[in-house]
Amino acid sequence: MYRVAIVGASGYTGGELLRILAVHPQVEVSVATSREYAGKFVYYAHPHLRGFYKLKFKKLDNPDQLSEVVGDVDLVFLALPHKVSLHYVPKALEIGLKVVDLSADYRLKRLEDYKIWYGYEHPYPDILEKAVYGIPELYSEKIKGAQLVANPGCNASSSILATVPVAAEGLIDLDHLVVDVKVGSSEAGAKPYRGGHHPEREGTARPYDASGHRHVAELEQVLREFTGRDVKVAFTPHAVSMIRGSLASAYSWLTRDVSELDVQRAYAKFYAKKPFVKIVRGAPMPYPDVKNVYGSNYAEVGFAVDKRVGRIAMFAAIDNLMKGAAGVAVQNMNLMLGLPEDEGLKYLVPVRP
């Protein structure tokens, strides 16, 4: 039985990690930290987990306390805010732990991108170089040998899953790629703030960060790797009236006359033997729907070819807290520990309605 720690376990993502791992057959959570709930049982922050854990939250104030607080574990999940995880990662690696970092602090490979998108100069370029970007459908072999995996952003994940298969096949005009993402309020985290708080999002739909959202840097980085050229994407997220879910709708012009079957083959080739990606075509629902993936690590992908104007629409639907955060973090953990990729995840069937 492998032992793991969750640092920053009282938020939505921490709660989802605890929920998944409560029934994982080969992994147990031995430590969960929270400064706010230190000394209290896990169910004080996550009432739905009452009866599943006897754990109490431990307090962890700084990276130098990491070894003392987490003890003898095999892997640590860092579910901490951006710029906080930054300094915990080196300490975790120093004491020999495998790390899945759910912040953005090690996702981008170009140092200058951190200045552009996060407003700071990255202090650990050597560690950044070794970090593996954590989308298993793209990088499973690298993840298997990694000591540090940088978990992707939720909106980046849905956008990447929608676009990379056709971009890699050269089917779309990379100079004219537009991505529109609709995302639920849980993306904003457990601490309410104006605009992110669910009552401010219920009953409405509105764009945010329309002049440039940070997750586009991840999408452009992956597209650059799979196409061999720089790509700039017009990317706009929308806050919509739902709690969970990230639906990416991407649009571009086709580079040649292709049939729907050609496009479907591109997706099928790319996602062959990928256990958590479902290609959606035909009746009863011809396009991806976030309601079909709630509470699971599954992703639905799909497309539409508009032959009249030579355009393609590409779609991906995920649960932002699962395939966009905790679910894929556990998938990455499985690969890092040499376990089956779908262990503890395959039977988390989506919840509907």
- Rounded distance between C-alpha atoms, residue 98 and residue 26, angstroms: 16
Average pLDDT value for the chain: 95
Q: Which bin fits 92, alpha (ψ -120 to 50), beta or left (φ > 0)?
A: alpha
Residue 154 among the catalytic residues: yes
Does 13 appear as a known binding residue? yes
- Rounded distance between C-alpha atoms, residue 153 and residue 318, angstroms: 12
Please provide the size of the chain in residues: 353
Q: Which residues, 6 or more positions from 3, have their beta carbon under 8 angstroms from its beta carbon?
A: 27, 28, 29, 30, 72, 73, 74
Least confident interval from 12-26, 123-137, 194-208: 194-208
Q: Which residues, 6 or more positions from 141, have their beta carbon under 8 angstroms from its beta carbon?
A: none
Instruction: Work out the end-to-end distance of the chain between its first and last CA atoms, rounded to an integer number of angstroms.
Output: 35
Q: pLDDT above 70 covers what percent of the chain?
A: 96
Q: Cα–chain-centroid distance for residue 219?
A: 12
CB 26 within 8 Å of CB 333: no
Does 334 appear as a known binding residue? no
pLDDT higher than 90, residue 196: no
Select from 46, 27, 28 the least CA-distant residue to 36: 46
Four-residue CA torsion sign, 100, 161, 351, 24:
negative
- Rounded distance between C-alpha atoms, residue 348 and residue 25, angstroms: 13
Output the pLDDT for position 200: 73
Domain with CATH 3.30.360.10 in the chain: 154-320
pTM of the model: 0.96
Residue 25 DSSP SS3: coil
- Rounded distance between C-alpha atoms, residue 186 and residue 244, angstroms: 6
Four-residue CA torsion sign, 11, 12, 15, 20:
negative
26-42: b (≥16 Cβ within 10 Å) or e: ebebbbbbbeebeeeeb
Q: In this predicted model, what pLDDT tens digit does every residue of 20-65 receive, in sequence order?
A: 999 999 999 999 999 999 999 999 999 999 999 999 999 999 999 9
Q: In this predicted model, what pLDDT tens digit does every residue of 271-307 receive, in sequence order?
A: 999 999 999 998 899 999 999 999 999 999 999 999 9
- What mean pLDDT do residues 245-251 have? 97
Half-sphere exposure (Cβ direction) of 230: Cα atoms closer than 13 Å: 2
| 235, containing H or E segment | strand 234-240
CB 6 within 8 Å of CB 18: yes
Select from 30, 23, 144, 14 the least CA-distant residue to 78: 14
Q: How confident is the model at residue 104 (pLDDT cuts 50, 70, 90)?
A: very high
Output the pLDDT for position 184: 84
Does 320 appear as a known binding residue? yes
pLDDT higher than 80, residue 348: yes
Does 193 appear as a known binding residue? no
Select from 181, 175, 209 the least CA-distant residue to 195: 209
Domain with CATH 3.40.50.720 in the chain: 2-151+323-336
Output the pLDDT for position 204: 80
Strand partners, 342: none
pLDDT higher than 90, residue 168: yes
CB 30 within 8 Å of CB 18: no
Could you identify the residue written with the tokens 């790319």? Answer: 270
Does 10 appear as a known binding residue? yes
Select from 124, 232, 111 the least CA-distant residue to 174: 232
Burial of 226 (0-12, 13-18, 19+ CB in 10 A): middle
pLDDT higher than 90, residue 185: no
**Does the domain formed by 2-151+323-336 have CATH 2.130.10.10?**
no
Burial of 145 (0-12, 13-18, 19+ CB in 10 A): exposed
The CATH T-level fold of domain 154-320 is Dihydrodipicolinate Reductase; domain 2 (3.30.360)
Catalytic residue among 146, 149, 154, 217: 154
